[in-house]
Amino acid sequence: MSSEDVTVNFVTSTEAIVAKQNINAATSIIDFHSNGHCLIIGEVEAALDAAAQLTELKCTVVCKDESINSIDKRLTEDGTAAFVVPVLQVEGYLGAFDATIELDGKATSLGVSVYLESGLFDLVLDLNQHATVSASLPPLGYYHAPTQAQLQAALIALPELIGDFEKPKYFNYERSICAHSRSQLSGCNACMNACATNAISTDGEGIVVDPHLCQGCGSCATVCPSGAISYAYPKPADAIQRTRDMLLGGGQQVLLLHNEAQQTQVDAVGEQTGVLTLLVEEVSAFGMDYWASMLCAGVQHILLLVDDDMEEQSQRALRSQIGVLHELLGAMGVVEPVVSFINSEKLPSVDANQLHQSKLAGLKVSNFAIQGNKRQTVRMALDTLSEQLQPKEPVVNLSKGAPFGLINVNKDSCTLCMACVSVCPAKALLDGQDSPALRMIEANCLQCGMCEAACPESAISLNAQYTFDSIEARKINTLHEEEPFNCIRCHKPFATKKIIQSMFSKLDGHWMFKDEIAKRRLKMCDDCRVKDIFEHDAKGIDVHKNKNV
């Protein structure tokens, strides 16, 4: 998917898919407004030539020259502002591009320098060989045109981008179950690594997605282990149900997913026995929950039509999820691939008979209820498959990075401080309530690594695996427990013996704990410690009495 295609067709493309596939399409709308102020980046002569052809736009020209250390500005005879600058940073989207130069610690806005009311440009034409905007999928309104053919295409498209535009908001985000970060600790970065538009950033307690930059590739939703970020157009449950309805006709055992840009190639191949072609908004938006549900619905092989224009991040996201699914299916005796890529050139040679899976052919169709929870959908689909295919072992080890597993705890190092419990986003880790213990529900674990990062004793390591027995996976298992330490005054349990021992070891020699009364207070709970201080030291503790501190 190119930014040019999205800019011109992002409304009509979606409407076409809704009409053809009867998608439940309710979602928010993202608005853009462009007044036609265009920033042209490149050698001055070439940029001015392009500006002369864009008579419908108000153009500003900027040339990067790293050999200078100042900003040079001049006006051409027709009033076009032309800058020569040592560095240039551009970020934003259609109607809101911010172009700045930072020199000697001072930032200068080009938009402000040419007296734009908002200080922002509406469009960008980049003629340089290397793109100024680094995103694999550039923002709407940005055209990188280092070749003559790309320049001619941009000169035709840019004048059409004046006025008001809109596109769907392609994603939903639920912060409460996001595994990206907690308390400034980093965990899962899967969505950020998969995003081709650089629309996703961190805010320390989760992620922030810029809906204006997002172009709906759906890779973030595909790799998200918790379902915190999901595709909204269509919703996963709607997509699964829609495909199930199409499968009711029977006879199709191979499912081909393609987008609208590939419709011509799909139509040219014509109908093939046993192959169901399905038009979707983005192939990369469909992941393990969808694929596994389709296998339960009678599909034996899923083909993803992926051509060279799909961004590498999206392809990596799909491959990672395909790899995990194949590991799980392999443990059930399904050794041949069931989800694979195909490009348009190979479409005519598709042979459904060669793609059939003998292990899957005899399965009873099972269309379980979809609740909208990604992990629950995956678990229910795998339950359905494993009941019939009977895995060789009750537990399968998975590759590092898989979104299922448990944690290993070094009991000699763990002090049961519960730092891991406090940061776990999936409620996979639990405390012992009335006793010092660390407990776990394996089915909830995302393998995000936040518990590992939070542990002050480095006592935790991740172990990617999948337990097929859902009842067993949902049990609360105790990973580590210790005898409680009771307050020496009120006898209430408030810590573990190991924590008290660790405190004494770390505070040994500290001037505030040299006398026995102070040491004794370390063995008291919070309430009793305060009472003891006022009973023995009515004036409080003088923290300044040690002159060496």
> pLDDT tens digit string along 24-64?
445 689 999 999 999 999 999 999 999 999 999 999 999 99
The encoded tokens of residue 34 equal: 């462009």
For residue 45, what are the contacts with CB-CB under 8 A and spacing of at least 6? Answer: none
Residue 485 neighbours by CB distance under 10 Å = 18
What pLDDT is attached to residue 249?
64
The encoded tokens of residue 408 equal: 């290993």
**377: nearest Cα among 256, 257, 253, 238:** 238
Q: Where are the domains of the chain?
A: 29-166, 169-325+341-380, 397-481, 484-536
Q: Hey, do 29-166 and 397-481 end up sharing a CATH topology, with the first three levels equal? A: no
Whole-angstrom Cα distance, residue 497 to residue 333?
48
> What ranges make up the beta strands (E) of 216-338?
229-231, 254-258, 275-279, 301-305
What pLDDT is attached to residue 8?
35
What pLDDT is attached to residue 465?
98
Whole-angstrom Cα distance, residue 9 to residue 147?
23
**197: nearest Cα among 31, 6, 62:** 6
What pLDDT is attached to residue 268?
80
For residues 230 and 171, is the Cβ–Cβ distance under 8 A?
A: yes
Amino acid at 545: K
- pTM of the model as a whole: 0.83
What pLDDT is attached to residue 426?
94
What pLDDT is attached to residue 1?
43
> pLDDT tens digit string along 95-150?
999 999 988 888 999 999 999 999 999 999 999 999 999 999 999 999 999 999 99
Q: Is there a cis peptide before residue 159, judged by omega within 30 degrees of 0?
A: no
CATH top class, domain 29-166? alpha beta
Amino acid at 299: V
**Burial classification of residue 455, based on how many CB atoms lie within 10 Å of its CB (0-12 exposed, 13-18 middle, 19 or more buried):** buried
Specify whether domain 397-481 bears CATH 3.30.70.3270.
yes
Residue with tokens 């059409």: 160
Q: Which helix (H) or strand (E) holds 103?
A: strand 96-103
Phi, psi of 16 (to 5 degrees): -65, -40
Mean pLDDT by 10 residues, the chain (549 residues): 39 38 61 97 96 96 92 90 95 97 89 94 97 94 97 97 95 94 90 96 91 95 95 87 84 87 86 82 94 94 91 94 97 94 91 83 88 91 96 96 97 91 95 90 97 95 97 96 86 80 77 79 87 75 52
